[in-house]
Amino acid sequence: MLGQVADNDFATLKSLRSVLSPDEYIAKLESFIERNLQFDPTNRDLNADNGSVDKTFIRQDHYRKLFQNHQAVKLIIDPATGQILDANNSAAKYYGWSCEEMRQMNISQINTMTKEEIRRAMQQVMNLEKLHFEFKHRRADGSVRDVEVLSSAIIESDTPYLQSIIIDITDRKQKEELIIGQNKQLAKLNAEKDKFFSIIAHDLKSPFHGLLGFSEIFSHSVREADFDTIMDTGSRIYVIVKRTYELLENLLEWAMLQRNDIKLAPKNKLLKVSVDSVITLYELRIGKKNLIVENMVPMGLKVFADSHLLNIVLRNLIYNSIKFTGNGGRIVIDAKPAAEMTEISVRDNGIGMNAAIKEKIFSLTGSVNRRGTDGEESTGLGLILSKEYVELNGGKIGFETKENEGTVFYFTVPSAQ
């Protein structure tokens, strides 16, 4: 009857797990252990037949009734050595070894922790410092399961034993990990949304203030036939429109990427030609800063990449170097071909980055927003977009930098097929 009551109590306890707080659940489990598992050598029922008690704890009839047929997975362990002294039928069924086989095993053959970690955990139980653990346990079929272990120390004839209830929590852990992953993804999406609205609210809106002001000056100058002002204002309007267009283009590319609306069409491309086309695109800005830009990509070198994605990455990285390199500086674009992947680098002797900026460079949650050496505005979206596109094309991206000395960005693309 005692074993049946214990079984019912444990089944009820397990059903309450989802409605109890962790502390309440642990407290009830510990109470359950105290109520049902403690061996009392002075129990008169045990002494009624022959007036003596078998000093070997694991042979007690009362213990057998309570322990062996219990539906909970239970182990009795020697805390000094980790030897499994006994395992009940539920343990044999759960782990896949027979009870006799488990009595020949050490807990370190089941628990995936190191022997020293296991020893410390058992010592915590014996010192009543901790009774509740979460471990990973190995089974006979090689599978590893997440388990919750409730342990208590018992003393029989001055000999200490450690008794444990093992509860499989693998499904719960998987659900927790899924929730953690979903929360991280949600945080990322929220950061992207905030970044998107920040760019729209500030970086995309601000240029229009300049356009309105310069348009008014332009209109007034036309009426006054002030051609010098007209030319100057026209040039300023062009620069604002050009920057705004590039920002809008990056925003649209990023939005397509978030919707998984990018269709890759990789093909063999002459890399040097692709780099030359980007350099030509920025000739005016390069000339304004008196920069030396060298395309050192080997002639005839081909890579296997989506033309659109490759162009966007090159454009963002080269413009990033132009933006943060001072007057008379130098930028070198180079490539190192290999059998499977080709590494492309964009190196400058510009202002570099400090530690704080380095940590945020590919992050949407950490805004950099620093201006270039000629006051050029920056949202940081171009580098984030470049990283996404490089990885989408099967490559990796990284950088090395030193403040006031320069930066090199490098990324890989598949070599030509």
Percent of the chain exceeding pLDDT 70 equals 77
Q: Which pLDDT value is given to residue 304?
A: 94
Q: Which pLDDT value is given to residue 312?
A: 86
Is the pLDDT reported for residue 111 higher than 90?
yes
**370 lies in a domain?**
yes
Query: Could you tell me if 150 and 286 lie in one domain?
Result: no
Query: Could you tell me if 158 and 29 lie in one domain?
Result: yes
Question: Which residues sit opposite 159 in a β-bridge?
Answer: 156
Mean pLDDT value of segment 206-230: 73
Of 102, 137, 168, the last residue of a domain is: 168
Query: Could you tell me if 163 and 306 lie in one domain?
Result: no
Is the pLDDT reported for residue 59 higher than 70?
no
CATH of the domain at 153: 3.30.450.20
Q: Which pLDDT value is given to residue 2?
A: 37
Report the candidate in 312, 308, 306, 261 with the shortest Cα–Cα distance to residue 413: 306
Is the pLDDT reported for residue 340 higher than 70?
yes
For residue 416, give the DSSP letter: P
Query: Could you tell me if 295 and 406 lie in one domain?
Result: yes
CATH of the domain at 313: 3.30.565.10
Q: Which pLDDT value is given to residue 365?
A: 61
Q: What is the band of 120 on the pLDDT scale with cuts at 50, 70, 90?
A: very high
Query: Could you tell me if 145 and 276 lie in one domain?
Result: no
Query: Could you tell me if 7 and 152 lie in one domain?
Result: yes
Sequence length of the chain is: 417
**48 lies in a domain?**
yes
Percent of the chain exceeding pLDDT 90 equals 43
Residues 6+ apart with CB under 8 A from 242: none
Comparing 80-94, 182-196, 339-353, the range with the smallest average pLDDT is 182-196
**156 lies in a domain?**
yes
Residues 6+ apart with CB under 8 A from 67: 37, 74, 76, 86, 88
Comparing 242-246, 322-326, 344-348, the range with the smallest average pLDDT is 242-246
Mean pLDDT value of segment 160-179: 92
Provide the residue range defining the domain that includes 86: 2-168
Amino acid at 42: T
Q: Which residue has the higher pLDDT, 3 or 237?
A: 237
**245 lies in a domain?**
no
**363 lies in a domain?**
yes
**249 lies in a domain?**
no
For 325, the token pair is 């390199």
Query: Could you tell me if 282 and 151 lie in one domain?
Result: no
Of 135, 168, 201, the last residue of a domain is: 168
Q: What is the band of 40 on the pLDDT scale with cuts at 50, 70, 90?
A: very low
Of 168, 184, 199, the last residue of a domain is: 168
* Dihedral angle, C-alpha 376, 377, 380, 385, nearest 10 °: -80
If one counts the domains in the chain, the total is 2
Burial label, 284 (beta-carbon count in 10 A; 0-12, 13-18, 19+): exposed
Q: Which residue has the higher pLDDT, 51 or 248?
A: 248
Query: Could you tell me if 38 and 150 lie in one domain?
Result: yes
Q: Which pLDDT value is given to residue 45?
A: 43
- 208-217, 369-378, 390-399: which is most confident: 390-399
**178 lies in a domain?**
no
Whether 379 and 281 have beta carbons less than 8 Å apart is answered as: no
Mean pLDDT over each residue of the chain, to the nearest integer: 81
Comparing 235-244, 261-270, 304-313, the range with the smallest average pLDDT is 235-244
**179 lies in a domain?**
no
- 49-53, 211-215, 239-243, 389-393: which is most confident: 389-393
Q: Which pLDDT value is given to residue 378?
A: 73
